[in-house]
Structures are given as C-alpha cells and as structure tokens.
Chain A
Amino acid sequence: EPEVTQTPSHQVTQMGQEVILRCVPISNHLYFYWYRQILGQKVEFLVSFYNNEISEKSEIFDDQFSVERPDGSNFTLKIRSTKLEDSAMYFCASGPGTGSAQPQHFGDGTRLSIL
C-alpha cells in the first residue's frame, strides 16, 4: 500500500539555524499538508498546498515558514531561523481530492529538536 514518507526521522538543530523537512506524498494525491505536534499536545494544522500554491495556512505558519514542491515528488517545509518553541513532531500528509471531506494519509513524522 502506498505511503507518505518523511525524512529525516529526527533532526537536531541549533537555535537560529535553518532546517528543511522533507516529505514524499502518495504519488497520485493532489493535496499536501504539514502539521505539528508538540509533545503531549494536540496535532496543529500549519499549511495546506494545492496546485503548486498555498491554499490555507494557520497563524503558526508565519514568515519563518515556507513550503515548496521542488520536483513534482518531494514536498518540503523550511523553517528559516529556528526557535526553541519550534521543537515538535512535524507530520506531512497528503489527500486524494479537493476539500476536507477526504481522508488524509500521514507520514510517521520528523522529530525536530532545537537546542
């Protein structure tokens, strides 16, 4: 069964450094998402991406964040200047159709630790 894959599984970065989290969504999916989950807390929506542009973003997704689909298969999340509070699990998801009424398929996440 096709799955969403994320790399790396764990990223340790010094505060202030840039970090890029990578995802390979399921190949025939059209919608792509990033979520984060701070330890022990709820899963929070960051951004959705469709047709090569951001379709929605949350208030968490400020100017420090950006997303890109550089080559038609990868979907990346960049944090320009990391802060301690960016430490969290970051999940990529993809969905087959338009809108929220479709199941989303999640990767196993990247644990980001900011020192």
Chain B
Amino acid sequence: SQQGEEDPQALSIQEGENATMNCSYKTSINNLQWYRQNSGRGLVHLILIRSNEREKHSGRLRVTLDTSKKSSSLLITASRAADTASYFCASGYSSASKIIFGSGTRLSIRP
C-alpha cells in the first residue's frame, strides 16, 4: 500500500482550541493534499503542499511536511463548531494522476 495511516482516528476538542492531525505515507510523494468531508457530503480540497515545501498556511490552516519521516500534519487554529468534519490526507505521485487517501481523522468541536 502506498498510503499509511492518520492519527488520531478521532479527536474531540473545545471550541477555540487548536486541532492537530497527523498523516504518514509509505513511498516518496510528489505532493500531499488535505481534504475535509462533512457528514454525507463530498470531499473539499483544503490545501496542497509539494514535496519540496516544508510548511504552508491558508487562513487558520497550517500544514507541515517532513519527507525524511514521510509524515505530514494539519493544524487548525482557533477551532469553530463548523470545523466538525472528517479530515483526510491524500498522497500524490509524479508518475500518476490519482491521489491515495488515508483513513481520516474525525474531528468534533465541542461548544
């Protein structure tokens, strides 16, 4: 399998706290993407980080990539109730058009 796992599988935090989700992968990648999935909906692209980048920001999102450890993390700062969703990382490979998804983290924000 080209893709590893995400941890934690589930995360419950208080509104206003920061949420950190981790993703590991097994083979060298061209890029790593993060997607959000609200219950019963499709996936929404959040952010893409290329293999030659180490950190990327988008609004309250911060993504890091450590290619030596084959891992990435997604940090959501100042969480809101609307951030409640499942979050998936997906690996992209230069020889392929497809992306391979991880198992996801279910994030719940308590009011």
**Are B42 and A48 interface neighbours, CB within 8 A?**
no
Interface mask (A90-115 → B, CB under 8 Å = 1, otherwise 0): 01010100111101111111000000
**Are B41 and A56 interface neighbours, CB within 8 A?**
no
Interface mask (A48-91 → B, CB under 8 Å = 1, otherwise 0): 10100001101000000000000000000000000000000001
**Could you say which residues of chain B place their CB within 8 Å of the CB of A55?**
97
**Are B97 and A106 interface neighbours, CB within 8 A?**
no
Report, as a range, how many residues of chain A touch the other chain: 20 to 34
Q: Complex Cα distance A42/B35, Å?
A: 12
**Are B101 and A101 interface neighbours, CB within 8 A?**
no
**Are A106 and B98 interface neighbours, CB within 8 A?**
no
**Are A106 and B43 interface neighbours, CB within 8 A?**
yes
**Are B101 and A43 interface neighbours, CB within 8 A?**
yes
Q: Which residue of B lies closest to A9 (CB)?
A: B40
A-B CB pair tally, cutoff 8 Å? 70
**Could you say which residues of chain B place their CB within 8 Å of the CB of A99?**
30, 92, 94, 96-97
The reply to whether the CB of B50 lies closer than 8 angstroms to some CB of chain A is yes
**Could you say which residues of chain B place their CB within 8 Å of the CB of A50?**
97
**Are A43 and B43 interface neighbours, CB within 8 A?**
yes
Q: Complex Cα distance A87/B45, Å?
A: 25
**Could you say which residues of chain B place their CB within 8 Å of the CB of A44?**
101
Q: Which residues of A contact B (CB under 8 A)?
A: 4, 31, 33, 35, 41-45, 48, 50, 55-56, 58, 91, 93, 95, 98-101, 103-109
Name 25 A/B residue pairs within 8 A (Cβ), A-sorted: A33-B97, A33-B98, A42-B88, A42-B101, A43-B88, A43-B101, A44-B101, A45-B101, A91-B42, A98-B97, A99-B96, A100-B30, A100-B92, A100-B94, A100-B99, A101-B30, A101-B31, A101-B48, A101-B92, A101-B94, A103-B45, A106-B43, A108-B42, A109-B41, A109-B42
